[in-house]
Every structure is written in C-alpha cells, then in structure tokens.
Structure 1
C-alpha cells in the first residue's frame, strides 16, 4: 500500500472527492471512513464558520477527513461584459421573479484567510487546493502542523509547479471530471487526455504520490489509473445519487434520465470551465458567457437556486463527469467498495 494512504490510516485506494455547493455532506465523508476510505469536505462556497461546524461534527464522530479549499485570486471580468451577460439572462430570471445583478461584478476570494486560519488551527489529515497553488509559506505551515498537502493539477506543467511549491502529493484531474476543472489557467482549453494517460504523463515528471480523478466509472477505470502510476483514485460523480448525497432531487434524477444524453464543458454557469449534463442553459448561454470567476457564479447563483427548488432542469448546473451513467442509488460505502472491488 502507498505510504500516502497508510500514513493516514486509509485502506481503500478509492477516495471520496470534495463536492462544493451542497452535494458533499458529512454523512458521505463518514460513510467513506467506515469502509477504510477518506472523504473530503468541500470548503468552497461555504463560510469558515459553516466549514468549522462540519469539521467539528466529524471530529465528534472520530472520523478522519480531508478539506478542499479554493486557492488563487478571482478571474477578472469587465463591468460591460458582466452587464451584458446579466441582461442576456434576465428573461430566464423573470420566470422566477428575480432581478439579477446588473451592476458591479462581485469578486471575492471565498474567505481564503479565514479558512486557512481554520485549517491551520485544526487537526486535519489532508488539505487539498484547487484553482490555484497556495504560497510556500502556507504549504510549509500546514506541513509543520502534520497536515498532508495535496494540489489539484491537470497537466505535467502544473504538476511541476505544484512540486516546486513543496506539496506532499498531487490530485491529477482529467478533463472528464464533473464540475469545475482545476486548471490553473482556465482561459486555456482543456486537453481531452484520458485519465490513465494523464497520470502516466505526470508520473514521468514527478515522484510525488498521485491521486487520479476524473471520469472514473468502473473498477476497471480505477485499476487502469493505478497501473499508470497513481497511488490512489478519487470519485465524485458516482457518489451524487448515493443515500448520503446532498445533491438536489432534480440533479439526482437527471443523472439517470435518458433525456440527458451527454456532458459538456461549459463556463455558462460560473465563468469558469466545468463539466455538466448538456441542457438548455449550456446550449443557449455557453457561447455567450464571459470568462470571469467568481463574478459569473454570483450572477447566476440566484437563478440556479430558484430553478433547483422548482426542479427546472433546463436551468440547473447539473454537474457530472463522463461516467455519470454508473452513478447508482445505493449507500456511499457500497459505491466506494464497488469501485475498489478489483484493485
């Protein structure tokens, strides 16, 4: 077994990915721990106080866990592009009696300082970062506290940058992953490289432990990633329909609905590339959406929330990786064991 896993007391080389926005829950993380895996709390879109509450709940249950945080600054967007997109989307918002923000774009760092202070002062097994690489001082401080630091990367070049920052391990994310791409330069197109091939390319550039993620649908997919040089694998989309998932009922139903036949990479919802089930929103607005994160996320969030509450799958961000058809209605522990069955 990889030392990366054994040092954290992890027996199952299939981890539960962080899923921001509510899909990831403490119940899901606890279910992963029960079968010898490790799950990540998603710090994104959550206040430091709320994240701390989740961490306390898991500590009370004596459950090991990781935390994922958004790093890097906002992607800038002009006032004119923001107003244009708000105007374009307003007819959809009118359906729900909403007035979108036609004024100044909202740009924030997702409470970075507060969340770093939180994990620095906590006994967290693993902390992973996405969207950006934290400074070396942050990485060193976390490592001194006993935390294993992981960085999400999408290419060998990003892997080299993360290694230079001093992280302990890498989460290698293929473009088939559901939800946001971890790409450090989101203006550049994603390379459609299969996960096992991407892992092999990254392995040739670094000796750091690797966790393979993105598009894993079966135990054979996970095994291929391990053969290519990964120390562990990670799944997210396959957990969206589990009993512990916090994904909306409409999202869960769409994953099994034959009407949703494919996934697409889109920035229509948040201004940053993310993979979702193809729907009206992606078809209509992806060609019109400006790059700009988190401003576009904040702009569309009220509309997406209203649509989710109404079960309107035309307008919901139905995050999904390419293996979404293999997501089952079962306990999360069963899903993790199923993918680990032949490893």
Structure 2
C-alpha cells in the first residue's frame, strides 16, 4: 500500500460504499475496527441524513472511515423516452399497488450541501462516483486534510482524476456489482467495460496515483492478485453485503447464494444507468427497453422496488451483485476481514514458494 493508504487502514481491504442502505454505520465501523477501511454511502440520502450517519459512525469507532458522494448528472435524458418507459411500467404499478415516482425529483443528489458539511466537519476519506470533481473541490479537501478518491473505469478517467488533483483512484472493473462508475454514460459504449486486471494495468501506465481495485473480488487470493497487478488496496462490496451488520434487505442477502439467481447482468431497468445485478423478472422484462436516463428512471422505479421488498418479492427488486456473488459468506464483518487477511497471507506465501 502507499503510505497514505497505510495510514488509513492496517490491511489493504476497503469496504465498498453501497448506496441504498447496505453501507450503514454499523457495517463501516465493524470493518474499520477490524483493520480495513469502512465506507458510508451518501448517495440517495439527504445532506442531513449523511450528517447523522457520520455522527453515528464516529460514536461507533475511532478508526478512519470514508464517505462516498455521487457527482451531479447532466440532463441528457430524452423526456419522451422516459415517458414511454413510464407507460411500460404501468402494469408494475398496478401489480404492486403503488404509484410510479416523479422522474424529475432531483439530479444533483444534494451534492453542494454534502460538500459543505464534509468540508466544515472533515472526515478522513471522501470518494466520488459518476464523475470527477473540480480542482477547487479537491484542493479544498486537501486543505481540510481529507484523502480523496475518484472512481474510474478507463485510463482516460484516471488521467482526468490525476489532473484534477485526486489523491487516489478506485479502479472499477466491469465485474463489479451495482452501478458502473463511468464519468459519462454513453449508450454507444454500453457493454464495453474493461475487466479489472486489464484495467489496473492500463491505469497504472496512464497515471502515477495509488490504485484501489474493485470488481468481483470475494477472496483473499483475489486480493493478492490485484495487489500483484499494482493496486495498493482492494475494495469489496458484494462480499460485505451479506454480513449481519449490513443494512441490505434480507431478501437481497438471501438471493446472493440462492440457486435461482445464478447470473448477473448489467441493466438500466432500475435506474437508467448501467448497473450489475442478479437477473430477475423485472430485469428480464424491462431491461431491453429501459432508456439511458439517470436518475430519472431511479426515481420512477423507487416506489416499485420498495413495494416489492415489502411484499417479499425479490423478482421486483434491484438485487445488485458482483460476478463473484455465489462466493458470499455470511460472516460478521470483522471476522470476514480476518478471514480475507488470512487468505491473502496464504496466497502471498504460496506465490513466494512458487517463485523460489
């Protein structure tokens, strides 16, 4: 690990910020206490909701932790396409007996208000998804003593993060569960994501920033692989989603290892932006027709997803998961960190023996 990352966590293990409830203060605190780096997800929360969670985690751990922000999105959605999709979802609204949401509920996710809070009362780490902040923003965090990370999915995005003054990049392979953190949602390049190991190599040749690798990582041996490829740390999301401390819905946790849900795919069905989840009825029926319209589609389907969860129906939920989801282990978060570290040590020892 780079010296900066070493200062933040004893082990090169980062718990991914999973928006939608999974990355709650209890999970992040447990990971940080165990020697990893826990993360809160501020996406889809109000600025005050984020502030309350930061207060809560500070009461649970004295170790460093991070907060992830969604970048505001340009308004490139076609209102007519959103209207057509709304019409296609009418049957879902009837089935779940809930109205469709307002697609224009907001595009900036309270970004400026959240920035103000995090600059006024700094946290150890702030990361950004769906874009790169301005140099002024990153410079302000540097002055506040906050380590900044920008999620990237291409070497070009990594270069943009370096030029803007980020301290590190989180390199996200196409294997990752949840949303692809692309800086620009380009339908023309849909499905052209780069695998994690290739992407680490490409980014390492493009920039000099420390790399945090994420995408499909579930075992210590995989962490050893990305470290050997040049990453300074590994970020795991799906692996921590099934922990008892995770705030994910119980149906979501159960689906991770349910033989009915074997495949994952990238889909726009739930949010209008490519995101990887377990293939279910909703994804199969609506994925082929969902427009490139984030966060409009997210707001449109929000009530449906909540109603499906309330009805105990995982076929109508967004079951975000990485490609390694079947390897999920239902362990307390602190114990999972310990197991991952033991596996990492074993993998490193095996590599050393093999090379001697």
Normalised by the shorter chain, which TM-score bucket? over 0.9
Q: Does 1:99 align with 2:99?
A: yes
Given that 1:195 and 1:212 are in contact with CA atoms closer than 8 Å, whether structure 2 keeps it comes out as yes
Q: Structure 1 residues 281, 108: closer, same or farther in 2, change over 3 A? A: same
**Residue-by-residue CA offset, 1:131-174 (whole Å, 9 max, x unaligned):** 01111110100011100111000111111111010100000000
Which residue matches 2:178? 179
**Residue-by-residue CA offset, 1:1-40 (whole Å, 9 max, x unaligned):** 42122232x1110111101000111111111111111111
Structure 1 distance, partners of 2:106, 2:195, is 33
Given that 1:4 and 1:231 are in contact with CA atoms closer than 8 Å, whether structure 2 keeps it comes out as no
Which residue matches 1:85? 85
Question: 1:210 deviation in Å?
Answer: 0.5
Question: 1:76 deviation in Å?
Answer: 2.6
RMSD of the TM alignment (CA)?
1.4
Structure 1 distance, partners of 2:70, 2:103, is 22
Aligned partner of residue 92 in structure 1, secondary structure: helix
Structure 2 distance, partners of 1:189, 1:77, is 16
Structure 1 distance, partners of 2:46, 2:194, is 34
Given that 2:14 and 2:38 are in contact with CA atoms closer than 8 Å, whether structure 1 keeps it comes out as yes
- What TM-score results when the alignment is normalised by the length of structure 1? 0.96
Question: 1:190 deviation in Å?
Answer: 4.2
Q: How many residues align?
A: 341
Which residue matches 2:159? 160
Structure 2 distance, partners of 1:163, 1:5, is 17
Aligned partner of residue 314 in structure 1, secondary structure: helix
**Range that drifts further, 168-177 or 67-76:** 67-76
Q: Does 1:5 align with 2:5?
A: yes
Given that 1:237 and 1:327 are in contact with CA atoms closer than 8 Å, whether structure 2 keeps it comes out as yes
Given that 2:243 and 2:331 are in contact with CA atoms closer than 8 Å, whether structure 1 keeps it comes out as yes
Question: 1:106 deviation in Å?
Answer: 3.4
Given that 1:264 and 1:276 are in contact with CA atoms closer than 8 Å, whether structure 2 keeps it comes out as yes
**Residue-by-residue CA offset, 1:120-140 (whole Å, 9 max, x unaligned):** 012311100000111111010
Which residue matches 1:38? 37
Alignment of structure 1 residues 1-343 onto 2, 5 Å: 1-8=1-8, 10-61=9-60, 62-101=62-101, 105-187=104-186, 188-341=189-342, 342-343=344-345
Question: 1:104 deviation in Å?
Answer: 6.3
Given that 1:215 and 1:322 are in contact with CA atoms closer than 8 Å, whether structure 2 keeps it comes out as yes
**Residue-by-residue CA offset, 1:276-333 (whole Å, 9 max, x unaligned):** 0001111111111011111100000000010011121111000000010111111011
Gap regions ≥5 residues in structure 2: 346-356
Gap regions ≥5 residues in structure 1: none
**Residue-by-residue CA offset, 1:54-93 (whole Å, 9 max, x unaligned):** 1111222324210000013244322221211111011011
Given that 1:58 and 1:64 are in contact with CA atoms closer than 8 Å, whether structure 2 keeps it comes out as no
Q: Structure 1 residues 331, 78: closer, same or farther in 2, change over 3 A? A: same
Aligned partner of residue 15 in structure 1, secondary structure: strand
